[in-house]
Amino acid sequence: MPYVDNNGIRIHYQVEGEGPPLVLQHGFTSSMRRWYLHGYVDAMKSAYQLVLVDARGHGQSDKPHDPAAYDLDSQKFSIGFSRSVWHIRQR
């Protein structure tokens, strides 16, 4: 399982498929697993490079107990991390 570090909090992500990048972000109280269960990944991975992200506190990402770990300033990096994924996949 790949992770990216966001100020000491591990954010789980998965990259699937080939093509133009498309980030799939689940809704509140869900996880990236839903994209697989409902068939979206299988349907789109032949046309897109999908980046699926488990938000902080969801799925396989870390679940900090400190409420301050969920404020927007703490999460800015986790929103923009996908650029590093593209560089890793394109090498």
Question: Which domain range does residue 61 map to?
Answer: 3-90
**pLDDT at residue 39 above 70?**
yes
Q: What is the pLDDT of residues 44-84, one digit of tens each?
A: 999 999 999 998 888 888 798 988 877 777 666 544 444 44
pTM for the model: 0.73
| Residue 6, strand partner residues | 9
**pLDDT at residue 41 above 50?**
yes
Q: What is the CATH number of the domain that holds 82?
A: 3.40.50.1820
For residue 11, give the 3-state DSSP assignment.
strand
For residue 32, give the 3-state DSSP assignment.
coil
Per the prediction, the chain carries an average pLDDT of 81
For residue 21, give the 3-state DSSP assignment.
strand
Percentage of residues in the chain with pLDDT exceeding 90? Answer: 41
